[in-house]
Structure 1
Amino acid sequence: MKQNDKRLDGMDMDTRTSLRDFIALLRQTRLNKGLFAAGIFLTLIGTIGSLIVPLLTQSFIDGYDPELLSTGLIALIIVIFVLSAALDGVAYYILARIGQTIILKLRERVWDKFLKLPIGYFDQTKSGESVSRVVNDTAIIKDLITSHFPQLISGIISVIGAVVILFLLDWRMSLIMFVAVPASLVIIIPLGRRMSRISRALQDETALFTGRIQETLSEMRLVKSFNGEAFERKRGQSGILSLYSYGMKEASINAFLSPIMSTVMMFVIILIIAYGGVRVSEGTLSMGTMVAFLLYLFQIIVPMTRFAMFFTEYNKALGATERIIGILGKAEEENESASDASVEFNTLAFEDVAFGYESHKEILHQISLTAYNGEKVAFVGPSGSGKSTIFALIERYYDIDAGSISIDGVDIRDIPLSTLRRNIGYVAQESAIISGTIRDNITYGLHDDEYTEADIDLAVRRSYSSEFVEMLEEGLDTEVGERGIKLSGGQRQRIGIARAFLKDPKLLMLDEATASLDSRSEKFVQEALDDLMRGRTVLVIAHRLSTIINSDRIFFLDNGYITGEGTHQELIEHHTMYRIFTEQQFG
């Protein structure tokens, strides 16, 4: 666990999130200040009720008279007890509701933020880590607000009230309590800092572990096919042991903190009993005051133990806040544009485009090309030559480093993302399928007013999906399972094509759309694609040259450069690499 220790030692507390950041984050959720004030007020009233009971006890003991022990007095004490407990319950519910509402809005904000982040963020971050931010980190803040914060408010009021009353009862005995203050601070402050570092490291490790587990479970067929159980078991145990280590570090601090605090408080109680006993024997302190003093002391001790727990949870919440603020502060995709230029998607042009996923490593170099409405333009080249990257740039998953990409002469950065992507249809080698029904997948991303049931039926027929949909008992309402696991590859592909038909895009991009299909499925899918391509600008990536030999133009890419352009016949005659590709496939 040396790596874990290094992670802890390397954390700089001065650069971490502060209480001000935490409060600022809560303010962004627009908490109901009136309801919050009502909760605090009820907590105050309930606590005052509990503070009255020791005073009644003092009066009863010091002025004991059997005749005063009436039914009315007993009823008064019971009413105060019950009313105090009821008000505490109502106050706790109100504060807990505020906390739940804050977390509701906070989770909505984080989730909305994820949906607005660029693809680059998800390239660098495992999905499990992002899930941990939405679920685990917000849950930590929720627990602090809904459970520990109401107890803190009640405890503070109880402690302040008890201290004030104790000084009024006997200031000399009250001073003995403050012996515990410096001793408690000496213990709590260094342990709290250590706990904060451990909590942050634990949250990081939890996010990493969640990411690994989610990744493994989503690829369980790979694990089984390649006998990867032993490897995954070892990797999982490593993460589990790491979490165990951090958990035990937390437990060791709590195990040390709780007994020490109890010992300090017990020492104070012994001092007060000893000193109070002497005062009672001397007649300078009444027995009723002594009993009331002890009762108030316990009203201080119980909240003090809760304060220690709150401090621990508070540091965890600061760690969670740091990560959530980090996500909320990330740059979003720019969906709006100041330009009012309208585009018809008749012409797509690249001019000296350069791009690299990393600043020091360029993937595409001086790419220039033009595609017109009604044309079929194909991209051919070795794997890793940059074909799919061109498609990603058209979708603006990433912004180019140099040059320009324009549609009808308008730079795509001046076209709102929603407008740009609404007019682009994309069919990949393996169509993405979400859990839900076939209907959900075909209509994905479209509003109800953008299509009719007849449009869905037409898309199903034109994509040749009806060939298998009609055989299903529930038809379009058939559940497809996670990532479409209940469907074959060809069926998933045809649903993806049906989705593109329904979207009716002006620019269609096909990325190895038939590469992984058997001959029968490929026949259906290719016929559907031929129908889909009519009347649109079509960009195609294909390793199978048979699918693109009839393209209007073919661009050959090699190591990020366009090294050839022309029809199939022109490239065979003038481009050596393309001719080699053709001979390898056709003989």
Structure 2
Amino acid sequence: MKVIRLIRLKKFFWVGLFLSIISSVLGVIVPLYIKNIIDLKNIFKSTLSLSFLSKLVTILVLQTVISAMGNFLISREGERQIADIRNLLQTHLIHLPIPFFDNQESGQLSSRVINDSVLVKNFITGVVPEFITSLITTIGTFIVLFLLDWKLSLLIFLIFPLDALITIPLGNYEEKLTVKSQKSLSDLTGIVTESLRNIRAVKLSEAEENVLVKFGKKLRLLYKLSVKNEAVYAVISPIQSLVSFVLIVSVLLYGGYRVQQSTLTIGSLTSFLIYFYQVIGPINTIADFYTNYKQTKGAVAKIIEILHEKPEKYIVGSSKLKISKPYSLSVRNLCFSYDKKMVLEKVNVDFPAKKKIAIVGSSGAGKTTLVNLITRLYNPNAGSIMLNGIDSKKIDLSQWRSMFGVVSQENYIISGTIYDNLVFGLKNLPSNDEINNAIKIANLSTFLSSLRRGVHEIVGEQGLKLSGGQRQRLQIARAYLKDPDFLILDEATSNLDADSEKKVSLALKEVMKGKTIIAIAHRLSTIIDSDKIYFLDNKTIAASGTHEQLLRSVPKYRNFVKEQFLKTNISGKESKNVGRSLPGL
């Protein structure tokens, strides 16, 4: 079973299961002692009766202790299993490629890790052990019953298949309901997560009602599915009660007749009734197993689907390639498409060591996509990325990404403290002097000195307690501590005001020293000093050269510069020197 393959059971589970089996066997023996005691004359005066009573008490106490120990060990293993399953899922998810997450909602994935794993744990450490012990109890009980009186036993044995004829079809129906319920629950989790994560945008947009309407629709759908599930249980439970009642009446009527005919002792009839009450629960558990299995199978379908997704390709077990510095990067005939829509086609770019190379182009031209390909967040459809002439595919992914530091317009701030963000992803923790130096270079010293807890101040979810400029400078400090060979600046100052931009630019100048810079920007002041500019247009590199060379020889680039200058000139942020470099302005 796919569910079982998720589990790696350890010795504590098997010990607990073994103890539970022993407890079940002892439970089968108990009614035999009761039968013998009842069938004896002078019960409380007979030495044999007292011996049977003392043995009965011993067995009952022993059964209770063993059962408690078995349940504890199985439950303990269950808690470990749920932790292991969550760790397995999270580890697998964190190593999946970015394209997988492009088509997923984070709230739904969180639900898989947190909620679905509980169902797997309950099935393996709850339903399965109960099924095994119930099966042993049932088999053992029926063996003893047939030995006591095969006619009365046959009566019981023939009625139970009626229960299975109804519960199995209902189990199939419940599996379908469970799949839909888990999907609905994941959707609901996603809506809650998204609305709370973006609570400021919700309030500023006065979208509370929209969020509640969307939430209400999913909640009602989940409610309807849950009611259908409960209806299935509501049908199964009375059926099982009816079967039990029919059995009780049948045993009493036929057993009473046999006692009158002196073909059955009162002790045997009593033990039959005790065995019946003892076995009815295990039989119902066995009957429910199929339903529970179908329910769990449906619930973990998405877990299996996630685990079947192929993780990013690391060169496992290989030693890192020794590549001599300085590093130079080259992109050759690179092609890439999103959902069969071509975004980049035969792109050729060179990034010489310790040079500043800029990639410019209109919005949607594929600049950020090119960076994602260079950092191997995506794999190209064709072409290659070379480091000192070595194909990137031959270099371990962790070694490759260790060479890159990114300062982006995206909010790459994690929840926690400023210190947590500074050391985020670093293989070796920096010293206090190194952290202080990074803070100084990132122009964060004054800001941190105003905080009561300094670097241990909480930044809030996605850094909400920090301004845009402070978040950018925190990313710069992190990049400085990583000390990468390539520093990628992806629209690093595009969302900042003039004062913040100035502080971030000063910080960047310090971090950029001695590194190869890959700059993506609309703002011309950040690219005109580049050693080379690649103009991305119509899915490919239309031209390359210095800012002045492109202005003179490439009309599309000139128009692009003019548009950007006009936009930024209106806001008053662009440098006057940029305007002078563009003839006619």
**What amino acid sits opposite 2:535 in the alignment?**
F
Alignment of 1:45 with 2:22, yes or no, is yes
Name the residue aligned to 2:134.
Answer: 155
> 154-163 or 523-532: which moved more?
154-163
Quote the Cα distance in structure 2 between the aligned partners of 1:144 and 1:515: 52
Alignment partner, residue 471 of structure 1: 450
Q: How does 1:8-27 map to 2 (within 5 A)?
A: 19=1, 21-26=2-7
In structure 2, how many angstroms separate the alpha carbons of the residues matched to 1:275 and 1:220?
Answer: 70
Q: CA deviation at 1:323?
A: 2.5
Classify 1:340/1:379 alpha carbon distance in 2 versus 1 (closer, same or farther; 3 Å): closer
**Paired position in structure 1 for 2:192:** 213
- Quote the residue 1:396 is aligned against: 376
Amino acid at match of 1:266: F
Aligned to 2:36: 59
Q: Deviations over 1:305-348 (max 9, x none)?
A: 33344433322222244322322222111121779462535211
SS, match of residue 535 in structure 1:
coil
Q: What's 1:269 paired with? A: 248
Partner residue in 2 for 1:348: 329
The answer to whether the 8 Å contact 2:411/2:462 transfers is: no
Report how far residue 105 of structure 1 moved. 2.4
Deviations 1:211-266 (A, max 9, x none): 23212221111111111112111111111111111111110100001101110121
Letter in 2 for 1:49: L
Work out whether residues 374 and 535 of structure 1, in 8 Å CA contact, stay in contact via their aligned partners in 2.
Answer: yes
- 295-304 or 101-110, which deviates more: 101-110
Q: Which runs of 5+ in 1 are unaligned?
A: 1-18
Query: Partner amino acid for 1:22?
Result: V
Helix, strand or coil at the partner of 1:212: helix
Q: Which residue of 1 aligns with 2:572?
A: none
**What letter matches 1:436 in structure 2?**
G
Match of 2:207 in 1: 228
Code of the residue aligned with 1:364 in structure 2: it is L
Q: Does 1:480 align with 2:459?
A: yes
Q: CA deviation at 1:564?
A: 2.3
In 2: Cα distance, 1:364 partner to 1:345 partner? 28
Secondary structure of the 2:552 match is helix
Cα-to-partner distance string for 1:96-134 (whole Å, 9 max, x where unaligned):
223333333222222211121111111111111221221
Secondary structure at the aligned position of 2:342 is classed as coil
Moved more, 184-193 or 301-310: 301-310
C-alpha change, 1:245 and 1:308, in structure 2 (3 Å) is: farther
Q: Choose which of 418, 421, 443 in structure 1 pairs with 2:398.
A: 418
Letter in 1 for 2:435: I
Q: What SS does structure 2 have at the residue aligned with 1:362?
A: strand
Within the candidate set 554, 563, 569, 1:575 is matched to 554
1:80, CA displacement in angstroms?
Answer: 2.3
Match of 1:121 among 100, 114, 123: 100
Amino acid at match of 1:157: I
Q: Specify the alignment match of 1:385 in structure 2.
A: 365
Return the alpha-carbon distance in structure 1 between the equivalents of residues 487 and 70 of structure 2. Answer: 59
AA in 2 matched with 1:433: I
Deviation at 1:533?
A: 1.4
Contact kept in structure 1, 2:96 and 2:312, CA below 8 Å: yes
Task: Give matches, 1:504-543, under 5 Å.
Answer: 504-543=483-522
The alignment status of 1:194 with 2:173, answered yes or no, reads yes
Distance 1:256 1:246 in 2: 16
Residue of structure 1 equivalent to 2:298: 319
For the residue of structure 2 that corresponds to 1:344, the secondary structure is coil
Quote the residue 1:12 is aligned against.
none
Sort the Cα spacing of 1:429 and 1:37 in 2 relative to 1 into closer, same or farther, 3 A: closer
Residues 38, 346 of structure 1: CA spacing in aligned structure 2 closer, same or farther, 3 A cutoff? closer
Distance in 2 (CA, whole Å) between partners of 1:221 and 1:232 is 13
Matches within 5 A, 1:62-73: 62-65=39-42, 66-68=44-46
Question: Which residue identity lines up with residue 231 of structure 1 in the other structure?
Answer: N
Number of positions where the alignment pairs a residue of Structure 1 with one of Structure 2? 562
- Over the aligned positions, Cα root-mean-square deviation in angstroms equals 1.9
Q: CA deviation at 1:74?
A: 4.5
Distance in 2, matches of 1:436 and 1:102, equals 28
Q: Deviations over 1:394-441 (max 9, x none)?
A: 110111111211111111111111111111010001341111111110
> 1:184 and 2:163 equivalent?
yes
Unaligned runs of at least 5 residues, structure 2: 566-578, 580-584
SS at match of 1:363: strand
Residue 160 of structure 1 deviates from its aligned partner by 1.5
Q: CA deviation at 1:75?
A: 4.4
TM-score normalised according to structure 2 size: 0.92
Residues 168 and 290 of structure 2 are in contact (CA less than 8 Å); yes or no, is this contact kept in structure 1? no
Sequence identity, in percent? 38
Three-state SS of the structure 1 residue aligned to 2:458 is coil
